């Protein structure tokens, strides 16, 4: 359940492109006490993702927002899914140490997969982005070409081939999610 105070609803002048072009959400409002095990404050990507994953674990969770879901940065961004950190991996490890640094790097590397897996799992409606599809298809063709080149090249074939096949599968899943 997502709750907010309807009296604070966003006026047209503050709506982002996404808010202005999407269907209005039906959300409950509350004025009095709430009863729940876990209360999440802020219905942006962080709060909503936490709520989704907690509810998948059958937790009793409520998200509240001062205005409405996506009112903050989550409803006003460019919508680009680009896994990566501003810092180079060596710098991340230098700042956080190997264990924590690698955990952050691995989580970041898997972030796009998490987004596309959620899109697929919950059948989230999204506009096709031809730019993304073109890039992914080009990457796919390149990987297939790499496999051919490796096959005719060296004894490392099996290992590299397996890694490339994994990447191809990931790309195919992303393309499928975009379609």
Ligand X SMILES: Cc1cc2nc3c(=O)[nH]c(=O)nc-3n(C[C@H](O)[C@H](O)[C@H](O)COP(=O)(O)OP(=O)(O)OC[C@H]3O[C@@H](n4cnc5c(N)ncnc54)[C@H](O)[C@@H]3O)c2cc1C
Which tokens is 58 given?
A: 């059958």
Sorted by sequence, the CB contacts under 8 Å of residue 140 that are 6+ apart come out as 168, 171, 172, 175
Q: How far apart are CA 6 and CA 93, in angstroms?
A: 45
Sorted by sequence, the CB contacts under 8 Å of residue 80 that are 6+ apart come out as none
* Of residues 44 and 101, the one with the C-beta less far from ligand X: 44
Number of residues forming the site for ligand X (CB under 6 A): 20
Site string for ligand X, 16-55 (x = CB under 6 A): -------------------------xxxxxxx--------
Site string for ligand X, 73-102 (x = CB under 6 A): xx-xxxxx----------------------
User: Which stretches of the chain are assigned E, i.e. beta strand?
Assistant: 2-4, 28-29, 38-41, 61-65
Residue 15 binds ligand X (CB under 6 A): no
* Of residues 52 and 164, the one with the C-beta less far from ligand X: 52
* Interacting residues with ligand X (CB under 6 A): 41-47, 64-67, 71-74, 76-80
């Amino acid at each position: 359940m997502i709750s907010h105070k309807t009296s604070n609803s966003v006026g047209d002048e503050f709506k982002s492109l996404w808010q202005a072009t999407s269907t209005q959400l039906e959300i409950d409002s509350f004025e009095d006490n709430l009863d729940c095990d876990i209360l999440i404050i802020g219905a942006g990507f962080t709060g909503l993702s936490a709520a989704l994953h907690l509810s998948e674990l059958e937790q009793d969770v409520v998200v509240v927002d001062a205005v409405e879901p996506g009112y903050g940065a989550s409803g006003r961004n460019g919508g680009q899914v680009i896994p990566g950190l501003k810092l180079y991996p060596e710098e991340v490890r230098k700042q956080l140490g190997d264990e924590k640094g690698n955990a952050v790097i691995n989580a970041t590397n898997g972030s796009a997969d998490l987004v596309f897996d959620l899109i697929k799992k919950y059948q989230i409606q999204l506009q096709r982005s031809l730019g993304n599809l073109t890039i992914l298809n080009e990457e796919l063709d390149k990987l297939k070409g790499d496999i051919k080149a490796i096959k005719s090249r060296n004894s490392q074939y099996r290992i590299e081939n397996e890694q490339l096949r994994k990447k191809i599968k990931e790309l195919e899943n992303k393309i499928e999610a975009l379609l």
